[in-house]
Amino acid sequence: LSKALGVPVITAIATMRVGIHELKQHLTKFVRPHFHPEFHPVVEEAVKELAAALPNNGCAPRGAALSVLSGDKTIIAALHHNQAVPEQLHATVNANIAKTKERFFEPLSFLVSRTRKQNIEERFGSYIVTPQRTVPVWRERLGNWMMHPLWGLPFLLLVLYLMYELVGVWAAGDLVDLIENGIFGGIDAETGEVVGYINPFIINLLAPLKQYGAVGTFFVDMFVGQYGLITVGLTYAIAIVLPVIFFFFLAFGILEDSGYLPRLTILSNRLFKRIGLNGRAVLPMVLGLGCDTMATFTTRTLETKKERIIATLLLGLGVPCSAQLGVILGMSSALNPLVLAIIAVTVVMQLVIVGWTANKILPGKVSSFLMEIPPIRTPRIKNLLIKTLFRVKWFLVEAVPLFLIGTGILFVVDRIGLLTIIENATKPILAGLLDLPAESAKAFLLGFLRRDYGAAGLFMLEKQGLLDLTQVTVSLAVMILFIPCLASFFAIIKEQGMKTGIVMATFISVYAVAVGAVLNIILRSLHVFA
């Protein structure tokens, strides 16, 4: 195979670390291969004309021509070193592409990619020795069932249930409670008792600063106050989100390494195509059930700007993180199963409606969906742990600073009295449009800091008898659809820019309230919980 290609061929198995050393040694030994795929005569003629028209500045003319023909609009600018490109060259290129497109029903990018693959399979199939059966029959059948439009759904429900039990119940419940209260802790707001170790130690360490008057008190409150960088920002990121993220990434790695995740992308591709995405969008959407902040960063893996905007919008609008989801599921299931059913239907409907509308309004196209399906395998524990730790490191670098920045801004907003003004301003909206008590305003503001705090705030109002079942349903639906937490908001700005981030946040907030108002009218008109 090496002789046929004209380049070194390294036998490697990454998961077993076979051939990795040899691969590293050859990284700097670049060789241009002998092999060139043979395309349709019409494509070959177009490539020859484009290669002659494009400037020759060191790039392989044939490769540059194929890139242009496949729709790469950046290659021409790169060949001109990002200087002004002559209009005549643009006209020549566009005329050549248009003429070639007329001869085929399929997109040229797909045609080029498929021809390359066919050439490889035809020419080099003789160099590959395939055992008679590398995958047991039962695994092959299981993999096919997982992709089936009908039989694949029970597998999906089972996977979601197991992930919820691991991440939503155990990690977000028992483990977070142990770390937040048992290790980090602080001063219990109800009993006034000291719980935990880390936060009480820091509170006692900084307490002497209060003797320096207002300035000392300001710094103490900034770090360990109601909206302190340590007691809220760092505690939330490390004690609450990090355990959830770790086990979510561990579960996600199992889905990847077992071969189920590629099959899930196939299963979901048809649905996602309706809303301007393809099956690859299942990655950020599933990650959003762990942490929306982290999931927003993964939208950068989607190929087109349109896909990234739609995925980010849907994540911010209606994908609850595991911490919030745990509180909501516990609260709604304890009251009435119908509450959870109505909330689920409402949220899913809004995701479909907004996604479909955004697909129609936003310019651009959905990228081609090509997915290689690996066999069903048993994941290796060592590889899972390495992958999980790298992703957790990514979370610590990317997301934790945003939690601290968001908490700092909230502290300043509270300090100057703006938080109280915002709370008073939102009370008429909540009472008028959503028919919710004025006390719910604080829950929604807390939800902007910590999504689970917002849901927990509504839970306390229900316990106090301030919310009936209709109000519980409306408030929880709006809480899920409401603007994501402050850290997610900063992640949106970081990925999409300030202008797009503010527009998204404004739209999400207004849309959530509008949906809540309509839902309230429908539930009361039909006397659903009468």
Give the pLDDT score at 143.
86
Q: Is the pLDDT of residue 302 over 90?
A: no
Distance CA 463, CA 334 (A): 11
What tens digit of pLDDT does each residue of 195-224 get?
788 888 898 899 898 888 888 999 899 998
Mean of pLDDT values over 460-477: 86
Give the pLDDT score at 21.
92
Mean pLDDT score of the chain, rounded to an integer?
Answer: 84
Instruction: Name the band, by pLDDT with cuts 50, 70 and 90, for residue 358.
Output: very high
Give the pLDDT score at 333.
63
SS3 assignment, position 195? strand
Q: Which amino acid is at 363?
A: P
Share of the chain above pLDDT 90, in %: 15
Mean of pLDDT values over 82-91: 77
**What is the value of pTM for the model shown?**
0.71
More confident residue, 299 or 57: 299
Neighbour tally for 8: CB within 10 Å: 12
Burial class from Cβ neighbours inside 10 Å (0-12, 13-18, 19+) for residue 241 reads buried
Report residue 49: phi and psi, to 5°. -65, -45
Instruction: Name the band, by pLDDT with cuts 50, 70 and 90, for residue 177.
Output: confident
Element (H, E) at 353: helix 337-361
Distance CA 136, CA 139 (A): 5
Distance CA 203, CA 200 (A): 5
Give the pLDDT score at 60.
80
Q: Is the pLDDT of residue 519 over 90?
A: yes
Q: Does residue 53 come out as left (phi exceeding 0), alpha (psi in the -120 to 50 range) or beta?
A: alpha
Least confidently predicted of 23-37, 110-124, 274-288, 442-456: 442-456
Extract the tokens encoding 293.
């902040």
SS3 assignment, position 18? strand
From residue 61, give the alpha-carbon distance in Å to each of 37, 55, 58, 77.
Answer: 15, 8, 8, 14
Q: Is the pLDDT of residue 401 over 80?
A: yes
Highest mean pLDDT among 75-89, 100-114, 169-183: 100-114
Is residue 112 within 8 Å of residue 101, measured between CB atoms? Answer: no
Give the pLDDT score at 452.
66
Element (H, E) at 271: helix 260-273
SS3 assignment, position 187? strand
Distance CA 100, CA 109 (A): 12
Distance CA 327, CA 173 (A): 9
Instruction: Name the band, by pLDDT with cuts 50, 70 and 90, for residue 50.
Output: confident
Give the pLDDT score at 448.
76
Distance CA 464, CA 437 (A): 12
More confident residue, 81 or 145: 145
